[in-house]
Amino acid sequence: MEILKIYDNPARPQWADLTRRCTRQEDEIAEQVAGILAQVREGGDEALRRIVRRIEGRTPEAFEIPADIRRKAAEAVSDDLKKALAAAKANIEAFHRAQLPQEVRIETMPGVRCMQRAMPIRRVGLYVPGGQAPLFSTVLMLAVPARVAGCGEVILCTPASREGAVAPEILYAADLCGVDRIFAVGGAQAVAAMAYGTESIPRVDKIFGPGNRYVTRAKQLVAGDTVAVDLPAGPSEVLVLLDDDASPAFAAADLLSQAEHGGDSQAMLVCASETFARRVQLAVEEQLQRLGRGAVIREALRTSRIVVLGDREERIAFADAYAPEHLIVAMRDPWEAAGRIAAGSVFVGPWSPESAGDYASGTNHTLPTGGWARACSGVNTDAFLRKITYQELTREGLGRLAPTIVAMAEAEGLGAHAAAVRIRMKGGAL
């Protein structure tokens, strides 16, 4: 089978199919996840142990990683990686601290003072994917803005090995970023534990973090139930938008770096000519020979594709229709194009690989997938805050506003609303 199938100047009616994500086994996944959520909600730790034994092949006595194990993790992390994590953390913290909102104070009319204050969410739960590639970078992307926002308690759930161990890099990054508690549990069952609470894992107010389709579906289900969630962040994706002046080698590298996330990831190239598309195909095959995770990459590339559109406006329109999690724009006048496309995070120019945002430029890599970039933002400092409005009126201020309130309340048929104003203006009598 041809790797990265090419679609040459597809007509607009075909775009819906070409922008479709991986939807294999969605009904089966939804049924399994609903069952897991119900079991954990009703059975707590004991149900969680049964699920972990069935899915992960281990039977944990306790889920929380003890303090001594967390401290020892630093010994297993190289000095080079420690320096890299410190540099990345500094950039991420600087960018997210700059996002902190200012308090709003305004007198909308004499005697009527309104305010808005941003208050941190009290307890947040972070989900960090593990498995074959434990994503310690996600710890930084979630824990740093949580601490910048001032959240009272930060807990973290992440999968463990069959022996119950969590990658030392994740533990070290968690300590570096001030995570309070870490629990060795992954998948939909971790989402359930944080959403409902168990005897050992506390219920949180909001859940953050990317994951596979089981994790994403679990977040969607609990979001309509008992807890807030950050955004729909499922299997990762990238769209690379180029013209013929771009580098085929760079394009191939960007597609491959996305595909190695998982077999259900998707890497899309939108370019100007079939000649360029063939050059990228060759570069992908050549570079793939030198990479690990080849089986995972090839599986992802089976549902990835190259779309050739000779017209620049058509390329931009297709990219916007796809609304990618990650968008790489390496074409003439890239900022003009980037400003017209819905995306989670945008990488502008040939020297801005997605890897920069995934790790250390300072932007967040927890982003909306599956086309949700049309309506959702990626994780940012604001996501860890709740904004409360306040108002304080003087007697004179209420007097000025009273005719407006009374007229509107009576027009809506809400007489008690009007009475709450009249009784004040008449000194306690109606």
Is there a binding annotation on residue 261? yes
User: Residues of 243-278 as b/e, b for ≥16 C-beta within 10 angstroms?
Assistant: beebebebbbbbbbbbbbbbbbbbbbbbbbeeebbe
Is there a binding annotation on residue 326? yes
Is there a binding annotation on residue 258? yes
Token digits for 24? 């294999």
Is there a binding annotation on residue 116? no
Tell me the C-alpha to C-alpha distance, in Å, between residue 379 and each of 161, 229, 347: 28, 11, 17
Token digits for 287? 């570079």
In the set 96, 169, 237, 326, the catalytic residue is 326
Is there a binding annotation on residue 364? no
Residue 158 burial (C-beta neighbours within 10 Å; 0-12, 13-18, 19+): buried
Is there a binding annotation on residue 42? no
Is there a binding annotation on residue 96? no
Is there a binding annotation on residue 365? no
Is there a binding annotation on residue 9? no
User: Residues of 215-235 as b/e, b for ≥16 C-beta within 10 angstroms?
Assistant: bbbbbebbbeeebbbbbbbbb
In the set 325, 336, 392, 396, the catalytic residue is 325
Does the active-site annotation cover 325? yes
Name the DSSP letter for residue 225: T
Is there a binding annotation on residue 127? yes
Cα-Cα-Cα-Cα dihedral sign, residues 132, 142, 37, 153: positive
CA–CA distance, 101 with 106 (Å, rounded to integer):
15
Catalytic residues: 325-326
Which residue positions form the known binding site?
127, 189, 212, 236, 258, 261, 326, 358, 412, 417
Which residue positions form the known binding site for Zn(2+)?
258, 261, 358, 417
Which residue positions form the known binding site for substrate?
236, 258, 261, 326, 358, 412, 417
Which residue positions form the known binding site for NAD(+)?
127, 189, 212
